[in-house]
């Protein structure tokens, strides 16, 4: 056997092959390889949210033989091309959704007029079981006994929210009407338990002003707040009347897209199409121009911020991009930092507004085009 052995000095160890670290290569030459770019985009998308498709295969009249498919599902299925399907999704798809306080139930509304309350765990498990991610659609029959609530109201719905004081109640509204419909999810009924309306508004010529509602929010004492398409915010006290007890006005008549309450439920923040964020005080503080008419109190905002002017104060940002007044798509508070108000603009830019120091502290540019 010894003749088959190779002396150690005649079998020198070959040096191992050194692999280039992709990130080092990118940092050296400043160029992103296409494969790395693809991998990075997938990681970014996964970090933003859990990606999943939830089918909307509900029936209007239950799951029996007499049931017909929901209008939202009918509008999004059987379309000829991908472009047509995408148009239908934008026109008829989900317009708003919100979790309850415990994150167990998810309420959603659609442009086709569907109000649906989901048990999120059942919804997520069903989505994973019903779809194959290898390109083949393998939908299974839906267990409609697990539906908490599904109403097809027959009109466009644009906003929805949970009652903070009573988690059995959800409210929804539309830019097409001046009404807020409140439903009790403990009762399987297509009829709301309460309907709130805005006050009638007229022009100087006597014609009615359309006031569709764009966003809603509940206070902890069950007051309801809704922004409208006429630049105002309506506040209802349901113990008193189905009409607003308070109307907050802005300096413009343009649509307010989003409203949020401060943690103490004392301040209301609204943002709209002119790129301005307004702040109102619900505790009764009124400016000199405030007035009272038939127990109806109207007053302007305590202060307001024009985001484009605030962004212009950031010299490094102004030097790199043209800053124009952009429509504010949505606003929301940081749960861990109550004085930081996040904003998102319709062109993809977002940032954080410090409501104590009246300045923009963070700015995030839109994702690059290759994403």
- From CA 68, how far away is CA 66, in angstroms rounded? 7
pLDDT of residue 100: 92
Q: How far apart are the first and last CA of the chain?
A: 63
**pLDDT above 70: residue 237:** yes
Q: What does residue 152 show for φ and ψ, rounded to 5 degrees? A: -105, 100
Locate tokens 């009272």: which residue?
292
Residue 127: is its pLDDT beyond 80? no
| CA 6 centroid distance within chain | 72
The three state secondary structure string of 104-170 is CEEEEEECCCEEEEEEHHHHHHHHHHHCCCCCCCCCCCCCHHHCCEEEECCCCCCEEEECCCCCCEE
Tens digit of each residue's pLDDT (9 = 90 or more) over 256-277:
999 999 988 889 999 988 899 9
Higher pLDDT among residues 164 and 127, named by residue: 164
Q: What is the DSSP string of 267-321?
A: EEEEEETTSEEEEEETTS---TT-EEETTEEEE--SEEEEHHHHHHT-HHHHHHS
At residue 192, the 3 state secondary structure works out as coil
Q: Which domains can be identified in the chain, with CATH numbers?
A: 52-364 (2.130.10.10)
- What pLDDT is recorded for position 61? 63
**Percent of the chain whose predicted confidence (pLDDT) is above 70:** 67
Residue 70 has pLDDT above 80, yes or no: no
Q: Considering the entire predicted model, what is its pTM?
A: 0.74
Is the pLDDT reported for residue 350 higher than 80? yes
Mean pLDDT over 100-121 rounds to 89
Least confident of 128-132, 276-280, 282-286: 128-132
For the residues 177-206, what does the mean pLDDT come to?
Answer: 85
Q: How confident is the model at residue 292 (pLDDT cuts 50, 70, 90)?
A: very low
């Amino acid at each position: 056997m010894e003749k088959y052995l190779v002396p150690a000095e005649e079998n020198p160890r070959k040096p191992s092959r050194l692999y280039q670290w992709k990130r080092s290569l990118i940092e050296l030459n400043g160029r992103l390889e296409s494969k790395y770019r693809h991998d990075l985009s997938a990681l970014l998308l996964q970090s933003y949210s859990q990606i999943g498709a939830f089918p909307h295969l509900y029936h209007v009249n239950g799951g029996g033989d007499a049931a017909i498919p929901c209008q939202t599902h009918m509008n999004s299925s059987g379309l000829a091309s991908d472009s047509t399907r995408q148009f239908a999704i934008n026109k008829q798809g989900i317009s708003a959704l919100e979790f309850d306080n415990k994150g167990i139930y998810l309420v959603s509304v659609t442009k086709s007029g569907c109000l649906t309350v989901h048990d999120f765990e059942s919804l997520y498990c069903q989505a994973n079981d019903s779809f194959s991610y290898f390109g083949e659609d393998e939908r299974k029959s839906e267990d409609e006994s697990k539906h908490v609530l599904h109403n097809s109201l027959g009109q466009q719905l644009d906003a929805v929210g949970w009652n903070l004081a009573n988690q059995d109640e959800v409210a929804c509204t539309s830019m097409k009407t001046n009404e807020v419909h409140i439903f009790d999810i403990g009762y399987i009924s297509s009829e709301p338990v309460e309907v709130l309306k805005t006050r009638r508004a007229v022009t100087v010529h006597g014609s009615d002003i359309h006031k569709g509602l764009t966003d809603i929010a509940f206070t902890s004492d069950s007051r309801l707040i809704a922004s409208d398409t006429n630049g105002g915010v309506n506040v209802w006290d349901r113990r008193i009347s189905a009409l607003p007890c308070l109307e907050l006005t802005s300096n413009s008549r343009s649509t307010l897209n989003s409203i949020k309450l401060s943690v103490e439920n004392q301040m209301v923040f609204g943002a709209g199409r002119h790129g301005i964020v307004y702040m109102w005080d619900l505790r009764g503080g009124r400016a000199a121009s405030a007035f009272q008419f038939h127990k109806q109190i109207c007053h302007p905002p305590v202060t307001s911020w024009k985001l484009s002017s605030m962004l212009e104060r950031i010299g490094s940002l102004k030097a790199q991009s043209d800053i124009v007044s952009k429509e504010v798509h949505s606003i929301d508070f940081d749960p861990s930092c109550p004085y930081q108000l996040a904003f998102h603009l319709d062109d993809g830019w977002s940032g954080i507004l410090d409501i104590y120091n009246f300045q923009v502290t963070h700015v995030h540019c839109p994702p690059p085009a290759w994403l």
